[in-house]
Amino acid sequence: MIDLKYLQKNYEETATKLIKKGVDSEILEALKQRFIELKEVNSTFEEAKANQNQMSKLFGQYKKDGKDIAELKVKVDANKELLSSLQESAREANEALNSLALGIPNFPDDRVPDGEDENDNVELKKVLKPTTFNFIPKEHWELSEINGWIDFGRGVKLAKSRFSVLRGDGARLERALINFFLDENRAKGFEEVAVPFINNASMLQGTGQLPKFEDDLFKIEDENLYLIPTAEVPLTNLYNDEILREKELPMLLTAYTPCFRKEAGSAGRDTRGMIRQHQFSKVEMVAISKPDDSERIFEMMVQNASDILTKLGLPHRIVELCGGDLGFSASHTIDLEVWLPGQNQYREISSISNTKEFQARRAKIRFKDSKKNTFVHTLNGSALAVGRTIVAIMENYQNEDGSVNIPEVLKRYM
């Protein structure tokens, strides 16, 4: 949730920023108008309510003293009529504002480059040189036909398209990677957490998936519950509606979870292979920090994810997302893209975002800053997406016969 008071006071500035993120200026104009309306309606309602409270007090006093209450009752009844209609319009104004405000994305950070989509993202640096082969490297689905690590057909049979089954060393590799990632994160100070894979609607609103992106989520029938699309949801919302102590911050959390996404908008993209699945494993980092610390922690998280890739010997590059490619809740995002020799391109394997106070405002996560309560900053990032790491290992560590070597650092996990 953006700060509406700030929007009202600095309309031009915020409008410019949000347009960079693809928000229609008419919606912003409407939002500002609704906000002003709400304040008006509220103040007249509150005035009438104060009036009523005062008369009610008097009413009690009169009864106690045995005075006649008939005249007062007439006045109080009349005001009650007025009150209920005012309350109704205040409620409507509030709902109108809220439903609009919940659909507005976060402000991009000042340093975020302009741009429409992923083509305008800015490469910051490359780490490790792309792997070279003295044969033509295969894509991971071809390799899985040879080594039997991924069974796509039976995944589809069990569930539907975009599900798969890992078998043998493929399954063991997944388990090894999860353990490796968690250990690496723990070494950097992240607390390991095991969370529910199903969360309720209010948590998904807290991190920004609801109400706007309901179509991307798997909902449990007849329940107010959803399969989580990322561990960012349960980890960040661990402190939903709480006021933390200053000395508890920063909070660094990591969890392994499966992630469930409908991929509603991506029909036809990456239909082949394990790049885009409805269910995938991921180890996530989440940080909850004081505003002044978030930038430093953000850098640390990027470095950590990059270090993990380096330890695995996977060539990758670090990319700064442009305004148009930023996610709904993010103010600043850096993606890590791993080199896939079979596809001959870099593909996203981690995305690290600082949402500043956007999620904290929605989820009401605050800390006691000496006297007053202040919104925390929340950050999240993958370290790393497990399925895509398996793909990357298969393609980068492949031999000409289709067998795949195991990276040195994983040997103790398998």
Partner RNA sequence: CGGGAGAUGUCAGAGCGGUUGAAUGUGCCAGUCUUGAAAACUGGUGAGGGUAAUUCCUCCGGGGGUUCGAAUCCCCCUCUCCCGGCCA
Binding of RNA by 196 (CB under 7 A) = no
11 CB neighbour count, 10 Å cutoff: 14
Binding of RNA by 94 (CB under 7 A) = no
| Catalytic residue chosen out of the listed positions 144, 281, 350, 351 | 351
Catalytic: 111?
no
Catalytic: 242?
no
Instruction: Show the binding pattern over residues 347-386: x = contacts RNA (CB under 7 A), - = does not.
Output: -------------------x-x----x-------------
131 CB neighbour count, 10 Å cutoff: 17
Q: How far is the CB of 81 from RNA (least distance, A)?
A: 10
Which of 5/157 has CB closer to RNA? 5
Catalytic: 221?
no
CB 219 within 8 A of CB 196: no
CA distance 216 to 234: 17
Which of 57/157 has CB closer to RNA? 57
Binding of RNA by 27 (CB under 7 A) = no
Binds RNA by CB under 7 A, chosen from 10, 16, 25, 43? 43
Q: What are phi and psi for residue 242, nearest 5 degrees?
A: -125, 155
CA distance 188 to 201: 32
Which of 242/270 has CB closer to RNA? 242
| Catalytic residue chosen out of the listed positions 261, 347, 361, 366 | 261
- C-alpha angle with apex 204: 220 to 42, nearest 5 degrees? 120
CA distance 414 to 410: 7
Binding of RNA by 53 (CB under 7 A) = yes
Binds RNA by CB under 7 A, chosen from 15, 55, 198, 410? 55
Three-state DSSP at 117 gives coil
CA distance 185 to 198: 23
Catalytic: 71?
no
Binds RNA by CB under 7 A, chosen from 9, 57, 67, 411? 57
CA distance 238 to 195: 9
Reading the block at residue 54, the tokens are 């005062």
CA distance 184 to 186: 5
Binds RNA by CB under 7 A, chosen from 124, 243, 264, 414? 243
Indicate which residues carry an active-site annotation. 261, 276, 348, 351, 388
Q: Where does this chain bind RNA (CB under 7 A)?
A: 5, 39, 42-43, 46-47, 49-50, 52-57, 59-60, 63, 73, 76-77, 80, 243, 366, 368, 373
